[in-house]
Each structure stands twice: as C-alpha cells, then as structure tokens.
C-alpha cells in the first residue's frame, strides 16, 4: 500500500510517501515570503504553492525511491486552511489520481496532527487518549477513541494559542512566525518577571483574545514610562508571556484528564514545538501519573507525513473520496 500525500493548507508545501504505514520521505518547503508582512498573505501563499508543488512531489518520490506508477492512492489536505492554498493541493491530487487511475483520499488537517503520533509506532499513545492540539489556527482538547474516532471536548472560543504567540511577537516587532522566536528568547528569561491576567472560561474551553489585549496595554504602559523597555527586557517579557500561555493550556488539560480519568496524554500541532510547553507537560505528567507523548520536532509543524499517516488509516477502512471533491477551508 503506497500512498503519496500532499499538505498545502497554509504556508508549507509538503509531500510524503508512505508504504504500508511507514514514512519513506517527508519533504517540507516553508514559504519565507510572509515574514516581511507579519503574517501569512493568502494570495501569495497559493502562488508559492503552485510554483513548489511539482518539485516538492518529485523530491518526495525520489527520496522514497518510488515511481509514480507504483502509487496506490493520492491523499491531500481538504481543510481546514486557506482556500487558495488548499485548492492547489486538492487540484494537484485530483489530477494525479485521475491520470494514474488510483483512488483519492481526503484528510482533515487537525485529525492528521493527532495521527502524527502513529508515525513512530514505538512511541504511540494507547486508546483512548487525550490530545492537546495546538496550532496557528486551532486550540483543542481532543478525546481520541480510535484512529478515526475523535471528539473535541474543549476548544478556544476566539484566538488560537499559536495566534496568541504570533500576535504578541508582532507587538514586540519580531517577524512572522513569532512563536519560535518567543520560545528562543524565553529560554534566557525569567518567567515570573511580569504577570498577565488569565481569563476564566467555563468547562474545558479556552480564550486567548483577552490576554493579547492585556499584553498590548501592558506594553503601551511600560514603553511610555521607558521607551527602551522592550529592548532591555525582551527575554523576561517572552518568558513571562510564554509561561502564562502554557499555564492556561495545561490547567485545562489537567482538568480534562481528571474529568475523563484518562492518563494517556499527547501533544500535537505547531505549538507543540515550544520547548517550554514540552518541558511543562512532561513535568505535569510526572505529577499526575500520565504517560506523556510529545511528537518529534519535524512532525509538530505542518508536514505531509502526518497526512500520509491519516490516509493510511483511511485506506485500511476503505474511505476514499470522489473526484467531485472541493476544499473545505472551515471544515
Ligand atoms: O501546525 P502549524 O504548523 O500550522 C497550523 O496548522 O496552523 O502551527 C503553526 C503555529 C504558528 O502559530 C507558530 O508560531 C507556532 O505554531 N509555533 C510555535 C513554535 N513553533 C511553531 N509556537 C511557540 N513556540 C514554538 N517553538
Ligand atoms: Zn497545522
């Protein structure tokens, strides 16, 4: 069972080949053009996907040492994501599947982030597990009963936590995506230097828009008193904001684990690359008696290997997609 998978939902053009559930290649081309605009520009993203998709797929096939004719299915991210970006991957996948007369498999991007945990079979969580899925567009606590049986039991009601990282970074004049930079500066800072308010949300839901506004007012006040405040305190500011975001994430996750009685706890999505979050989750896991699963860095941010993995499980269940399919940006 040889599957070619394509991911193009946001600003990474990626292709991966998977044979019998084993990843043979995972080529990721990240678009750097958005850095200068302080965020992903959808129109530019889709154009860059168009330029990159053929060479990226070619490389993924070459690295896996697979001829096109050996493929048994083509998988693609159907959503959620940017419409123009999704269209490139979807159209390419449809055309290739049609030309090779093989089935198409649509994949849900967030489900794929969770299924990235099965890429390395020696480090996979056991069912049922909870997955804290944190990316640029989503923040969810997912109850995973089986490969394709997932329920969102808590989620953000406004901004995603990745957005909170990126927006605070933007206020600090750091380039997009700011999350990794906050992470880097935070490593040299004092996480208790500054305090930020935490918004209480009912149940297992999150909210991150309030903290962004609080951070804006905090910066305005501090820079009015001292114009060099940011330059003089960047590591402490980053460490403090990061610590607050992590605390919000993990407090709710702990509540979910205690409520459900589940002790298999996984982390997924771009923000799972955050070193502070990885350490804090491992620590909480130790205190709470959890088995904690943290993905390898290459499978945290967007990649086609996770799409291939999800497609593998869909192939096994015979879940194929018709040629009539179109992208679902808000799936
Ligand atoms: O999963 P992903 O690659 O794309 C989406 O599906 O959105 O997640 C991207 C998000 C961005 O907000 C980025 O700033 C954040 O993940 N991110 C990080 C780190 N690496 C990526 N946030 C905090 N610390 C990091 N090390
Ligand atoms: Zn993602």
**What distance, in Å, lies between the first and last C-alpha atoms of the chain?**
27
**Per-residue confidence (pLDDT) for residue 122, from 0 to 100:** 87
Residue 35 pLDDT > 90? no
pLDDT digits (tens, 9 = 90+) for 289-326: 999 999 999 999 999 999 999 999 999 999 999 999 99
Q: What is the pTM of this model?
A: 0.96
pLDDT of residue 38 exceeding 90: no
Interatomic CA distance for residues 170 and 40, integer angstroms: 13
- Render pLDDT for 243-279 as a digit per residue (tens, 0 to 9): 999 999 999 999 999 999 999 999 999 999 999 999 9
Q: Could you tell me the pLDDT band of residue 189, with boundaries at 50, 70 and 90?
A: very high
Cβ pair 97, 323 in contact under 8 A: yes
10 lines ligand 1 (CB under 6 A): yes
Which ligand is closest in space to the CA of residue 82?
1
183: CA distance to ligand 2 center in Å?
A: 18
Which of 28, 270, 281 gets mutated to test ligand 1 (max ligand atoms within 8 A of its CB)? 270
Dihedral of alpha carbons 270, 219, 243, 211, sign:
negative
Q: Quote the distance between the C-alpha of residue 298 and its chain's center.
A: 11
Q: Which of 207, 269, 276, 284 is nearest to 240 (CA)?
A: 276
What value does the mean pLDDT take over residues 126-149? 98
Give the closest ligand to the alpha carbon of residue 306: 2
**Residues sharing a CB contact under 8 Å with residue 215, sequence separation 6 or more, in sequence order:** 168, 171, 196, 241
pLDDT tens digits, one per residue of 12-22: 999 999 999 99
Reported as a pLDDT band with limits 50, 70 and 90, residue 142 is: very high
Residues around ligand 2, an ion, CB closer than 5 A: 135, 302
DSSP 318: T
């Amino acid at each position: 069972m040889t599957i070619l998978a394509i991911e193009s939902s946001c600003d990474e053009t990626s292709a991966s080949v998977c044979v019998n559930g084993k990843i043979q290649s995972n080529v990721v081309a990240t678009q750097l053009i958005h850095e200068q605009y302080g965020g992903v520009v959808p129109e530019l993203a889709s154009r860059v996907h168009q330029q990159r998709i053929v060479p990226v797929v070619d490389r993924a096939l070459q690295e896996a040492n697979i001829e096109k004719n050996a493929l048994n299915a083509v998988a693609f991210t159907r959503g959620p994501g940017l419409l123009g970006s999704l269209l490139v991957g979807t159209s390419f996948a449809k055309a290739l599947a049609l030309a090779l007369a093989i089935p198409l498999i649509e994949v849900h991007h967030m489900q794929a982030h969770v299924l990235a945990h099965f890429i390395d079979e020696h480090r996979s969580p056991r069912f049922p597990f909870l997955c804290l899925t944190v990316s640029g567009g989503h923040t969810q606590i997912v109850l995973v009963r089986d490969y394709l049986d997932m329920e969102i039991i808590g989620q953000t009601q406004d901004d995603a936590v990745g957005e909170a990282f990126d927006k605070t970074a933007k206020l600090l004049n750091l380039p997009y995506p700011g999350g990794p930079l906050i992470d880097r500066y935070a490593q040299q800072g004092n996480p208790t230097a500054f305090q930020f308010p935490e918004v209480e949300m009912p149940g297992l839901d999150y909210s991150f828009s309030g903290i962004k506004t609080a951070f804006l007012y905090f910066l305005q006040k501090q820079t009015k008193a001292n114009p060099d405040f940011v330059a003089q305190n960047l590591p402490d500011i980053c460490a403090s904001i990061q610590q607050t975001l992590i605390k919000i994430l993990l407090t709710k996750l702990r509540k979910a684990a205690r409520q459900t009685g589940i002790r298999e706890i996984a982390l997924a999505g771009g923000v799972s690359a955050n070193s502070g979050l990885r350490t804090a989750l491992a620590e909480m896991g130790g205190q709470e008696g959890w088995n904690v699963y943290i993905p390898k860095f290459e499978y945290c941010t967007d990649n086609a290997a996770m799409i291939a993995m999800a497609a593998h499980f869909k192939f096994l269940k015979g879940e194929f997609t018709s040629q009539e399919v179109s992208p679902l940006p808000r799936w």
